[in-house]
Structure 1
Amino acid sequence: MAVRDELGLSELAELEGILDQGGSYMECRELAQVDIGGRCFPVLAITLGNPDPGVPAAAFFGGVHGLERIGTAVVLSYLRNLASRLRWDRLLHFKLESVRLVFLPVVNPGGMWRGTRANPAGVDLMRNAPVDAEERPPFLLGGHRFGARLPWYRGAAGAAMEIEAAALCRIVEEEMLTRDFSIALDCHSGFGILDRIWFPYACTRRPIRDIAEVHALSEIFDQMHPCHRYVFEPQSRQYLAHGDLWDFLYRRAEAVPEKLFLPLTLEMGSWMWVKKNPRQVFSRYGIFNPLIEHRQQRVLRRHFAWFDFIVRAAASHRHWRPEGETLRQHQELALQRWYRNKPS
């Protein structure tokens, strides 16, 4: 399907070019339309690779928060790389026979067009799921119901999820939770000076069921890229929050013991960009995005290895997932690393 940029959202124009380049190898599906005063923005999912539900899947999400455009940029950059290789890279086609790839680069097009963290209704999509924190989260930051004029608004109690959040959940349920193994990576920015890889939970400090698999995944990445600068940790190690979409979806998968779904969040440390260019603090986008071109390009290059690793880990999950005694060892190491020490 064609993606029109009549409304001035450059990310949609870039996505259209990528789809043209990918041709018949990529399928584009409209999950929803966001209406802003008669202007309609599509929420689009792009899929490629083997559609057989028997193969694993990897998914990449960006633009949940409209101000964090760098998240969409890194997802589009990786998708563009794949599209450019589809016509000549036979090794890529061989890999795609064993994995399903899903992309939702612009989850919140209305918020991105308006330049707001929330969607056009004023709801923070990452506080919108029907999940409550087990302990009191930080005031406001952890999600609240005081009203849309304040940031981190969850939406009205008992209301249905926002159309964008529901679209994200639907594609995960259809493309990922039906499979024996899947990984999702959601790309954000704005927390600290380090790039962090967060995993559930945000609603509780208790470890998830599949903590051994998360530890094994981080270990093989450490072995492949010993000089990386990511900090792997549960989100709860930094703060608790209500309404996290990935907590909600992980618990859906957790209810089916034979399925393994690992939702991860790339939280890019945007404070470093502000430190290098302090004037950015006076820009609406400057706190969340690199505003200087060479820094933007550096960020896009930096995360390519991590994205490619996610795809390889999904396709080859049977060769690294721990079992038996190894599973118990990874579980003990994970508990010692993330839950028995004080946060750094």
Structure 2
Amino acid sequence: MTELRALTPHSVIPAEQASRDRHQKRLLRTFLPELVQLERQLAEAPDFVSTQVAGRVVVGPMGLPIYRVDLGTPATDVPVVLIVGGVHGLERIGSQVVMAWLDSLLARLGWDQHLNALLEKVHITLLPIVNPGGMYLNQRSNPGGVDLMRNAPITAQDGSAFLLGGQQWSSRLPWYRGRPEQGMEVENQALEAVIQDLLPNRPFSLALDCHSGFGWQDQIWFPYAYRRRPMRRIDSVMALKLIWEQAYPNHNYRFEPQSAHYLTHGDLWDYFYKQVNRENSGVFLPLTLEMGSWRWIRKRPRQLFRLDGFFNPLVPHRHQRVLRSHLTWMDFLISAAASHQNWLPIGEQQSMLREAAIMHWYRDTR
């Protein structure tokens, strides 16, 4: 039988698979099918797609890889879009949405001249499963019990939500931040290394982090989560919102700062936003797709009796609908990044859009 390494240009995939014994492969098929699917997807990807291991998480005898996928132009002076999924292990639908979009992208590259031309103007990086250990264990946190979205070195300025905003009492309780003296967890260090490698000196960059588990409606959140005052680049967020609504007026997303709902300690994207924009002149906009899972529960209350039912659509037709419903938004972000110079506000537009954003989102906090 022909070995996989002879059939794929991505040597990292067969090397990872060869390191597992039969029992470990069976465990992954049972408890982490998303990783098995991702490896199959990447093994079949064309050679212009780059695959590497950004980090590794130890769970028992296994070392689970955090895969980084790159495509588009390798030039370092073009816009970049970073797509992230699986930060919370229970939210499998986030990783599945990222992988569904990657599937669509790879299928279209074989015939879509417009898409091929677009990727000559932008670079795309994906980390589909940031927390493979937590996903394998079917828990929100990583294997050490740390909530990765409460683990960054940033503290809420006002009162954070009790427990939900992050706590340092015990890893046995949810939303555990970890110990500050230990630094960020290995998964977050891998993500930080990708950001430091990818974003410096870019004229424009976007990040989309895919989550679920909150709200009746799909939401697009942006910083901050640690304070209620607006971010410095709020005019750019408003500009992005406006061109999206002009292009897709019948969309179903609600754009809001996360602080409109609750404040948290340790938010990763607050930390990365401040870090990147402090050290670089280009614009970096981190966004979170928060898929409204409460409506899935309302339509199928039995999901309340399953832990994963709080965060994922369990009915097949609903699951398929979720996988396809965000493709347009993700395609839009690529086009928006490639053409950022045509819509990013400058001069008087910045002050006008900033004032509009403050009136729209922060009127009650002024």
Both proteins in one fold, TM over 0.5:
yes
Alignment deviations for residues 65-123 of structure 1 (CA, whole Å, 9 cap, x no partner): 00000000100000011111222222221111000001000000000000000000000
Which runs of structure 2 are paired with 1:62-81 in the superposition (5 Å)?
62-81=85-104
Report the Cα offset of residue 263 of structure 1.
0.2
Q: Give the letter for the 2:176 counterpart.
A: Y
2:353 paired with 1:330: yes
Specify which of 199, 202, 211 is matched with residue 225 of structure 2. 202
Which runs of structure 2 are paired with 1:4-153 in the superposition (5 Å)?
4=17, 6=25, 7-8=28-29, 9-153=32-176
Q: Give the letter for the 1:254 counterpart.
A: N
2:351 paired with 1:321: no
Counterpart in 2 of 1:233? 256
**C-alpha distance in 1, partners of 2:343/2:313?**
35
Contact 1:22–1:86 (CA<8 Å) still a contact in 2? no
Alignment deviations for residues 161-208 of structure 1 (CA, whole Å, 9 cap, x no partner): 100011111111211244121000000001111111000000011111
**C-alpha distance in 1, partners of 2:291/2:269?**
18
Alignment deviations for residues 278-310 of structure 1 (CA, whole Å, 9 cap, x no partner): 000000100100001100000111111110111
**C-alpha distance in 2, partners of 1:128/1:261?**
21
Report the Cα offset of residue 325 of structure 1.
1.4
2:335 paired with 1:299: no
Moved more, 274-283 or 323-332: 323-332
2:340 paired with 1:308: no
Number of residue-to-residue matches in the alignment: 342
Contact 1:18–1:83 (CA<8 Å) still a contact in 2? no
Moved more, 89-98 or 143-152: 89-98
Counterpart in 2 of 1:179? 202
Counterpart in 1 of 2:21? none
Report the Cα offset of residue 33 of structure 1.
1.0
Specify which of 242, 255, 265 is matched with residue 219 of structure 1. 242
**C-alpha distance in 2, partners of 1:269/1:341?**
24
**C-alpha distance in 1, partners of 2:33/2:201?**
33
**C-alpha distance in 1, partners of 2:52/2:256?**
33
**C-alpha distance in 2, partners of 1:293/1:57?**
33
Report the Cα offset of residue 139 of structure 1.
1.0
Contact 1:145–1:155 (CA<8 Å) still a contact in 2? yes
Contact 2:147–2:175 (CA<8 Å) still a contact in 1? yes
Contact 1:60–1:105 (CA<8 Å) still a contact in 2? yes
- 1:25 match: secondary structure: coil
**C-alpha distance in 2, partners of 1:254/1:175?**
13
Counterpart in 1 of 2:214? 191
Q: Give the letter for the 2:64 counterpart.
A: F
Between structures 1 and 2, the one with greater helix share:
2
**C-alpha distance in 1, partners of 2:201/2:298?**
44
- 2:68 match: secondary structure: strand
Structure 1 unaligned spans of 5+:
none
Q: Give the letter for the 2:268 counterpart.
A: L
**C-alpha distance in 2, partners of 1:195/1:124?**
22
**C-alpha distance in 2, partners of 1:199/1:309?**
17
- 2:97 match: secondary structure: helix
2:286 paired with 1:263: yes
Counterpart in 2 of 1:161? 184
Report the Cα offset of residue 257 of structure 1.
5.6
**C-alpha distance in 2, partners of 1:15/1:110?**
15
From the CA coordinates, give the structure whose radius of gyration is larger: 2
Structure 2 unaligned spans of 5+:
1-11, 18-23
Q: Give the letter for the 1:26 counterpart.
A: V
Contact 2:230–2:362 (CA<8 Å) still a contact in 1? yes
What is the alpha-carbon root mean square deviation over aligned residues? 1.2
Report the Cα offset of residue 25 of structure 1.
1.6
Q: Give the letter for the 2:138 counterpart.
A: G
Counterpart in 2 of 1:246? 269
